[in-house]
Structure 1
Amino acid sequence: MEPRVQQPVAWNPRALPLPALAVAGVGPVALALARRALAVDDAALARWSGVAGPGVLVLLGDAESLPWVDGVLYLGRDPAAPSLLLPCTLAPDVAPALLDRALVARAEAGTPLAVLPRSGHLVPVGAARPVSRETLGAWLAKQEAA
């Protein structure tokens, strides 16, 4: 039997954008996103939950409350891929339901998964916690020091 070659998923403009449920940044964009989030008042900060890892930050919240910085990726949920948060303005070139099944099967952590196509990150966001100014500030300091 010949080994199977995995084909990368291509992403094309989405005909109708998904409503935003999250915003993500990778690398310098993640740092800028954290700085922007830390600049808001406590009431605004309390509207978000988030997850962070080395060089990546994902904030979840109402579309109108999510912060913007140049280069962020807004994520939403496609009804055909309920376990994934996909780019609001991009659609995969494969059926979203198949992508959902394939990525969930590969995931070592829980769902939902934020799919960040440009960087290749799959970020489990099921463990998102309310954003704490102290925790976010500590994460930012650690990332800036690295």
Structure 2
Amino acid sequence: MVSPSSPDPRFSPSWSPRTSPLPALAVAGVGPVALALARRVLSAEDTELARWSGVAGPGVLVLLGDTESLPWVEGVVYLGRDAAAPALLLPCTLAPDVAPALLERALVARAQTGTPLAVLPRTAHLVPVGAARPVSRDTVRAWLATQEGA
């Protein structure tokens, strides 16, 4: 499991709808949405699980996979890669109000972890996803039990 960074209110660019959505490479949930996403993962067939890798931390779950394989639950954020900021996974339907390359430089410097970084603007989380591992039903079940007991 990988711990996401804490929200940082000092850095909060504005976000607006993208003119053209990015192809989804990941899906993320925070708080109750992360729990719902974990439950959805546990209900998936083994063939689906084999198509995903993921990272999780306190209250955050990020799954990476092919666009067509990524699960859906109410409230998740789909993330994709903007060619101008390849070290970031950004919301597929939102664009920052700053140049993506500048955003990338600032966030990578701030995070001081490996890349890519999943950017979750609504909660201001940065989640390093470079250490993503294949999804294991046992690991997801253990993470979910820990989160529900917290």
Q: Is the 8 A contact 2:119 2:125 kept in 1?
A: yes
Q: How high is the TM-score relative to the length of structure 2?
A: 0.92
Q: Distance in 2 between matches of 1:18 and 1:50?
A: 20
The residue identity in structure 2 corresponding to 1:129 is R
Greater Cα shift, 132-141 or 100-109? 100-109
Aligned partner (choices 92, 99, 122) of residue 118 of structure 1 = 122
**Which SS does the other structure have where 1:32 is aligned?**
helix
Q: Is the 8 A contact 2:82 2:90 kept in 1?
A: yes
Aligned length: 141
Unpaired runs of 5+ residues, structure 1, are: 1-5
Percent identical: 79
Q: Distance in 2 between matches of 1:126 and 1:30?
A: 19
Offset of 1:8 from its aligned partner? 2.5
**Which SS does the other structure have where 2:107 is aligned?**
helix
More contact order relative to length (CA 8 Å, sep ≥ 6) = 2
Aligned to 1:3: none
Q: How high is the TM-score relative to the length of structure 1?
A: 0.95
Q: CA RMSD in A?
A: 0.8
* Structure 1 residues 39-84: Cα deviation after superposition (integer angstroms, max 9, x where no partner): 0111111100000000000000001000000000000000000100
**Which SS does the other structure have where 1:123 is aligned?**
strand
Aligned to 1:17: 21
Aligned to 2:77: 73
* Structure 1 residues 86-141: Cα deviation after superposition (integer angstroms, max 9, x where no partner): 00000000000000111111112110000000011000000000000000100001
Q: Distance in 2 between matches of 1:128 and 1:120?
A: 20
Aligned to 1:145: 149
Moved segments of 4+, more than 3 Å: none
Q: State yes or no: 1:136 paired with 2:140.
A: yes
The residue identity in structure 2 corresponding to 1:39 is S
Q: Distance in 2 between matches of 1:8 and 1:141?
A: 32
Give 1 or 2 for the bigger CA radius of gyration.
Answer: 1
Offset of 1:7 from its aligned partner? 5.7
* Structure 1 residues 16-49: Cα deviation after superposition (integer angstroms, max 9, x where no partner): 0000000000000000000001101111111000
Unpaired runs of 5+ residues, structure 2, are: 1-9
Q: Do the aligned partners of residues 7 and 123 (structure 1) sit closer, same or farther apart at CA in structure 2, a change above 3 Å counting?
A: closer
Q: Distance in 1 between matches of 2:15 and 2:78?
A: 14
